[in-house]
Amino acid sequence: MNTVRIATRESQLAMWQANHIKDLLLSVNPELICEIVGMTTLGDRNKVTPLGQMGGKGVFVKELETGLLDGSVDIAVHSMKDVPGELPSGLGIVAMAERADPHDAFVSNDYKTLGDMPDGAVIGSSSLRRVLQLKAAYPSLAFKDLRGNIDTRLSKLDDHQYDGIILAVAGLTRIGQGARVTDAILSSVCLPSAGQGAVGIECRDGDTRILTILDTINHKATFHRVSAERRVTLKLGATCNLPVAVFATTDKNESILIRAFVADTEGAEVISEEISGPIADAYDLADTLGERLLARGAARLMGQS
């Protein structure tokens, strides 16, 4: 009864995240025995097909969720930006570690910022969210798909296949590659993905033993901000594979600001909205923001109507 089996992808970053959660659990529950169970997902196996064609974010979590549902593991650890808004019946995200830097990172060996790059310079990214926002800000740059784990992507940059690449600041920092961040991209230029920088924990509904344990490490401020972001994506349609960004920030006055970006796949039409109010009303504000986006045609952009 003291054992917690932790499902994770087997990439370097995912293993760091799983061990981070393990360390947090043991720091407040030293009597636990934590076992890490590595799994390979479809997103890990197929590094060629664009994510949108494979089914979007869910390709990085499905196998872990199968382990939860069949009882072979007790919790699954995820990068929250990889978790679809709608989860399988019987499962829930119930805790999160404190969020790290949520911004996107520009990485280059030759240029200090995206603005320093010459016309036609090639930027690598697998994310439509990133590509379309950065295309709008830097229309003279060329964008090329980039897949693989962080080390693979950095190697392709170092092999001169790209002039610069876009990754997450948090991911680079967590695997000891923070020095490779050439420039952190302002959220006013590229709004982060919902949940970016946050590590979440999924478990079975009603598993009271696990729920009690996880409550001891839940960083509530992160949980509420990221949950608000996810409510917006869920309102829009959690299975869409189109560029959607939602980012919530709070201030010392107990206020929350939620910003959102939605576009079609070509970036020809963009909808941006924001809403602010008391932190206590965060979920209602998120719902209202989602409704505003839908009223402005977000469903049409995402091919839902």
- pLDDT for position 149: 87
Q: What is the pLDDT of residues 173-203, one digit of tens each?
A: 999 999 999 999 999 999 999 999 999 999 9
Q: What is the pLDDT of residues 19-31, one digit of tens each?
A: 999 999 999 999 9
By percentage, how much of the chain surpasses pLDDT 90?
80
The DSSP line for 167-235 is EEHHHHHHTT-GGG--EEPPTTTSPPPTTTT-EEEEEETT-HHHHHHHHTT--HHHHHHHHHHHHHHHH
pLDDT class of 54 with cuts at 50, 70, 90: very low
Whether the per-residue pLDDT at 50 is higher than 60: the answer is: no
The H or E element containing residue 135 is: helix 128-137
- Residues recognised as catalytic: 82
Q: What is the pLDDT of residues 57-85, one digit of tens each?
A: 566 688 899 999 999 999 999 999 888 88
CA–CA dist 12, 44 (Å, integer): 12
Lowest mean per-residue pLDDT among 39-53, 132-146, 184-198 = 39-53
The H or E element containing residue 49 is: none
Q: What is the pLDDT of residues 29-38, one digit of tens each?
A: 999 999 999 9
Domains of the chain in start order, with CATH, are 3-97+198-218 (3.40.190.10), 104-184 (3.40.190.10), 236-301 (3.30.160.40)
Helix/strand number for the chain, H first, E second: 11, 13
pTM (2 decimals)?
0.89
Q: Which two tokens stand for residue 227?
A: 């949950």
Whether the per-residue pLDDT at 47 is higher than 90: the answer is: no
Quick count: other Cβ atoms within 10 Å of Cβ 27?
A: 10
Reduce the DSSP state of residue 138 to 3 states and report it: coil
CA–CA dist 230, 84 (Å, integer): 8
Whether the per-residue pLDDT at 223 is higher than 70: the answer is: yes
Is there a contact between 202 and 82 (Cβ–Cβ < 8 Å)?
Answer: no
- pLDDT for position 41: 61
By percentage, how much of the chain surpasses pLDDT 70?
91
